[in-house]
Structure 1
Amino acid sequence: MTLKSILTGAVMALGLGTTAAVAQDDKTKVGFIYVGPIGDGGWTYEHDQGRLAVEEHFGDRVETVYQESVPEGADATRAITQMALNGADLIFTTSFGFMEPTINVAKKFPNVKFEHATGFKTAPNVSTYSARFYEGRAIQGHIAGKMTESNIVGYIASYPIPEVIRGINSAFIHARKANPDVQFKIIWAYTWFDPAKEADAATALIEQGADVILQHTDSTAPQAAAEKAGNVISFGQASDMAEYKPSPRVSSIIDNWKPYYIARTQAVIDGTWESQQTWDGIGPGMVGIGEITDAVPADVKEEALALKASIAAGEYHPFTGPLKKQDGSDWLAEGETADDGTLLGMNFYVEGLDAEIPQ
């Protein structure tokens, strides 16, 4: 006799029927593993907004659980394993460094579905998903190039992985198109979320002359540092960070995971879930551009919105030649666009960036 039949019999003996027991048993359990706290105001905050959207959309048909501030590595393996042991049917692991732990745990739980954000390894029960953040950084780069007065743009980078390198390159290409004299100064913070480190990095860049701060880290600390400095503009990362607008935050990249999380949960409920790789951008709505405030000159705002529309329509690709690599070698010919394979493995800077990628 199974536990379910024992419970059902007990419920029937009490004259309550089986509806409540079966409904509870049929709930789909959806888990989320977060690299930062849900209150980070950026990356993890937006993933958690996706979780809340799943709850709102499905109501009592689903149960969601999450664990926040999970370090990448062995701790992630333990957290993912425990979530699977606790009955999760679908688990979203939301940081690049969770890739190997996700793949390894998935082998031990073939009946659980796993979704890994920003990675590239799949399995029969593992999908990957990411957003084309570089599209949003092209728009940020254009605004940065037009608005800088010092011609120095500061960039707070997290880890030297292709996603971050793509973002730096895209922002730089479009800043240079807008202003041939612009220079980028890059500080590697080696963290996704550490407000103290992020604030120190922003302050150091401002002290080096940067009057524009871009970031690929997750807290609002760089916004606060820009506000304190005065006459420095910044951009929201992953979330709108609207508390700092109209300035220093003059626009933002917003990660919209809600439709994807709802669709993949529905696939598990329907029994139609299959392993896939998803990489969507501005057009499908996975990358949003936050309000461009009136701190941006009207003509620059108009140009930025036109660039956004062109990217969304598929009429323009942010990596369109002619482009050379940092060492001067040819990369893309006139009108040629970068293929996804090169972008996904990007490990080089484009010509003009005066910096080295850490090894």
Structure 2
Amino acid sequence: MMKSLLTGATFALGLTTAAFAQDETTKIGFIYVGPVGDGGWTYEHNQGRLAVEEHFGDAVETVFVESVPEGPDAERVMTQMALDGADLIFSTSFGFMDPTINVAGKFPDVKFEHATGYKQADNVSVYSARFYEGRAVQGHIAGQMTESNVIGYIASFPIPEVIRGINAAYLQAKAVNPDVEFKIVWAYTWFDPAKEAEAATVLIEQGADVILQHTDSTAPQAAAQAAGNVATFGQASDMAEFGPYPRVSSIIDNWSPYYIARTQAVIDGTWESTSTWDGIAPGMVGIGDITDAVPAEIKASAEAMIESIRSGDMHPFTGPINKQDGSVWLADGETASDYGDDGLAGMNFYVEGIVGDVPQ
């Protein structure tokens, strides 16, 4: 009997210890707008998730759901993650903003991190990268590489992040090539290879020999490669498989340090709602290898620009800059503010020289 009781006590202790260990595991959820194999935006967010697993080992468990439409489906997925015991949920697309806020209100003990949005709560942080810094570098290269003076831009949705990117690229292209013209196709998607390839083809037919994109697949790279003599830039991920040409450089989103730091804050019990907007200097925005397809003098000037942005000596939005209607936005030497009236965070206008209207 004594042995039986001892065994039972030992078994109960084992269960308690196992339950305690399970409770100590931090569960992290990720919700993605595209597939993890998109080669761009979602791929890099998933690399961040994998970095969390590698860094913390058995102390964390990560789960993810890919290709979630922005809207009610996102709310359903996050609700299920919270019900399944997630301690921290990263929602990684602009259109997940309201669903994130809605679900966070129902689960006050769960921490939420929303990428590229602006709505916060006690248990909701927001984070984004200054992609416009990378697009300024792309514009600098594109303006010098184009022979037709026509640069194509595949835009996703008319939100401030995308409009900032268009304006930043245009301003720096125009600075090195006064004859440059931007043609913009709004794809109204983040990830749709067929639509993206079609947009690239339309731009090439309109004379573009350099194409930039704010969509997530490698379809524009493939379309440019098939057309020949059209330069492209990787979006969100390196897309180096299309180098050294047509892909001549890229913007690389590096989410890993942020994801590790925010997970650590949850583990430590120090997590607080914050707003993060980092760029080239902290390493959240990387510039992929500038290939030898770019002439040496252009490559050197682009590298100098990267270092100037990194050091803070250059801001991509430095006046004089007018709005599209000719009204003054920034006076000579004035740099754009992040927030407030006409701040970068709410940018909803084209700068002077861009033809066409911002879709409403």
Summarize the Cα distance change of 1:10–1:317 in structure 2 as closer, same or farther, 3 Å threshold. Answer: farther
* Counterpart residue number, 1:270: 268
1:78 to 76, 79, 82: 76
Q: Is the Cα–Cα contact under 8 Å of residues 46 and 257 in structure 1 kept in the other structure?
A: yes
1:152-208 C-alpha deviation (Å, 9 max, x unpaired) = 000000000000000000000000001000000000000000000000000000000
* Counterpart residue number, 2:356: 355
For 2:270 and 2:314, how far apart are their aligned partners in 1? 34
1:131 to 129, 153, 156: 129
* Counterpart residue number, 2:346: 345
Q: Is the Cα–Cα contact under 8 Å of residues 11 and 18 in structure 1 kept in the other structure?
A: no
The AA in structure 2 aligned to 1:113 is K
TM-score, with structure 2 as normaliser: 0.96
The AA in structure 1 aligned to 2:146 is T
TM-score, with structure 1 as normaliser: 0.96
The AA in structure 2 aligned to 1:208 is Q
1:294-321 C-alpha deviation (Å, 9 max, x unpaired) = 0000000000000000001111100000
Q: Is the Cα–Cα contact under 8 Å of residues 323 and 330 in structure 1 kept in the other structure?
A: yes
The AA in structure 1 aligned to 2:97 is M
1:1-359 pair list within 5 angstroms: 12-13=10-11, 16=14, 18-341=16-339, 342-359=343-360
Q: CA deviation at 1:24?
A: 1.9
1:208-266 C-alpha deviation (Å, 9 max, x unpaired) = 00000000000000000000000000000000001000000000000000000000000
For 1:64 and 1:10, how far apart are their aligned partners in 2? 34
For 2:97 and 2:134, how far apart are their aligned partners in 1? 24
Q: How many residues align?
A: 351
Where 1:282 maps in the other structure, the secondary structure is: coil
For 1:105 and 1:293, how far apart are their aligned partners in 2? 45
The AA in structure 1 aligned to 2:288 is G
Where 1:63 maps in the other structure, the secondary structure is: strand
**Structure 2, gaps ≥5 residues long:** 1-6
Summarize the Cα distance change of 1:312–1:87 in structure 2 as closer, same or farther, 3 Å threshold. Answer: same
Where 1:344 maps in the other structure, the secondary structure is: helix
The AA in structure 2 aligned to 1:48 is N
Q: CA deviation at 1:56?
A: 0.2
**Structure 1, gaps ≥5 residues long:** 1-8
For 2:317 and 2:13, how far apart are their aligned partners in 1? 67
Where 1:340 maps in the other structure, the secondary structure is: coil
Where 1:190 maps in the other structure, the secondary structure is: coil
For 2:136 and 2:231, how far apart are their aligned partners in 1? 16
* Counterpart residue number, 1:6: none
Q: CA deviation at 1:11?
A: 8.4
Where 2:67 maps in the other structure, the secondary structure is: coil
Q: Is the Cα–Cα contact under 8 Å of residues 157 and 190 in structure 1 kept in the other structure?
A: yes
Summarize the Cα distance change of 1:11–1:320 in structure 2 as closer, same or farther, 3 Å threshold. Answer: farther
Q: CA deviation at 1:17?
A: 6.9
Q: CA deviation at 1:21?
A: 3.5
The AA in structure 1 aligned to 2:179 is D
Summarize the Cα distance change of 1:23–1:231 in structure 2 as closer, same or farther, 3 Å threshold. Answer: same
The AA in structure 2 aligned to 1:351 is E
For 1:70 and 1:245, how far apart are their aligned partners in 2? 30
Root-mean-square deviation (CA, aligned residues, Å) is 1.2
For 2:97 and 2:37, how far apart are their aligned partners in 1? 23
Q: Is the Cα–Cα contact under 8 Å of residues 34 and 70 in structure 1 kept in the other structure?
A: yes
1:43-91 C-alpha deviation (Å, 9 max, x unpaired) = 0000000000000000000000000000001111111111111100000
Where 1:64 maps in the other structure, the secondary structure is: strand
Identity of aligned residues (%): 76
